[in-house]
Amino acid sequence: MSQQERREAVVRQLLDAGGPSSVPPELHGDAVRRGSRMLRRRTLARRLLWVVLLAAVVAFTIWAAEAQPWVEPPSRTTPPLTRW
Amino acid sequence: MRERQADQQARRAREFQAFVAGAAGRLLHAATLLTGERADANPRARALLTAALAATYASWDRLRGEDPYDRTRTVLVVRYARGAWRRGRGDGGLLSRLAPQERIVLVLRLYEGVAEEQTAALLGLPVERVRTMCARAVTAVLHPPRGPAPSSSAPPVPPGALGKAASS
């Protein structure tokens, strides 16, 4: 056992000794409450994201059906008359 | 669908309670070492542990075989590291003289027995740096520098093992 290892073993003993005697009983309940809230918020955010995505798809579809951007617009210019 | 959800929730609550019953004591000890508080007055360690456990609870269904203890410990350390810069030096705990990163290294390496590589990865430091930091922290704990020591109730130090004990 090297010097360093011996010193580490001593510190390990120091760290192990004298921890908190007991865990406060309300800790579990608090953690569950906070965790549930996080879960609920996450679910809500995910749902909101889906709704927004769906709305965007619907809006685009309606706009595309109305405007039909793939149809070539009617020509506005007339070819110049060269010969009478 | 609703029934399955309720089932899942009940199972999660049951498993989580068993986990907390088994692991909270050790995790609270680790948190108290990190915050540098005394064992009998550790509100910050409790708050830290509550937050870490809440995060574990929230991701319980997505752990996929990962150890919840490891997960909670990681969250605990990361949260502590993120908030440590605006915290005080701690009051009276064994590690209250050390810098936050030294406390993390000491707790992970010696108290929790985490490998050097994992500790380095968690802190985003090279392995050599973790090694030297650990050695320096060990020296600092065994031979606290003279000065106004905040530790009026440092735990008893085994006789013979140390040169200068923390005393003030």
pLDDT at A6 exceeding the cut of 70:
yes
Residues B136-165 as b/e (b if ≥16 CB within 10 A, e otherwise) read ebbebbbebeeeeebbeebeebeeeebeee
Q: Does A25 touch chain B (CB under 8 A)?
A: no
A16-20, A63-67, A71-75, B145-149 — which is least confidently predicted? Answer: B145-149
pLDDT tops 50 at residue B153: no
- Give A5→chain B minimum CA distance, Å: 10
User: Which pLDDT tens digit goes with each residue over A37-79?
Assistant: 999 999 999 999 999 999 999 999 999 999 898 988 887 887 7
Give the residue from chain B lying closest to A43, CA to CA.
B58
DSSP state, A70? T
Count CA within 13 A, CB hemisphere, residue A21: 2
Closest residue in B to A28 (Cα) is B20
Shortest Cα distance, chain B CAs vs residue A59, angstroms:
30
* Residue A23 touches chain B, beta carbons under 8 Å: yes
pLDDT at B38: 87
Asked whether the beta carbons of residue A31 and residue B33 sit closer than 8 angstroms, the reply is no
Domains and CATH numbers, chain B: 2-142 (1.20.140.160)
Confidence of residue B65 (pLDDT cuts 50, 70, 90): confident
* Model confidence band, residue B162 (pLDDT cutoffs 50, 70, 90): very low
Q: Give the model's pLDDT for residue B92.
A: 75
The predicted pLDDT at position B137 comes to 93
* Contact flag B155-A20 (C-beta cutoff 8 Å): no
Residue B144 has pLDDT above 90, yes or no: no
Best interface-test mutation with B: which of A23, A37, A42, A44 has the largest number of B CBs within 10 A? A23
Calpha distance B42→A31 (Å, rounded): 17
**Separation in Å, CA A55 to CA A49, A52, A64:** 10, 5, 14
pLDDT at B152: 45
Q: What is the ipTM of this complex?
A: 0.75
A1 touches chain B (CB under 8 A): no
pTM of the entire structure?
0.78
Interface probe for A, chosen from B1, B57, B136 (most Cβ of A below 10 Å), is B57
Give pLDDT tens digits for B4-63.
889 988 999 999 999 999 999 999 999 999 998 888 888 899 999 999 999 999 999 988
Smallest CA-to-CA distance from B61 within B12, B121, B21 is with B12
Interface touch A21/B39, C-beta < 8 Å: yes
pLDDT band at A29 (very low <50, low <70, confident <90, very high): very high
Residue B132 pLDDT > 70:
yes
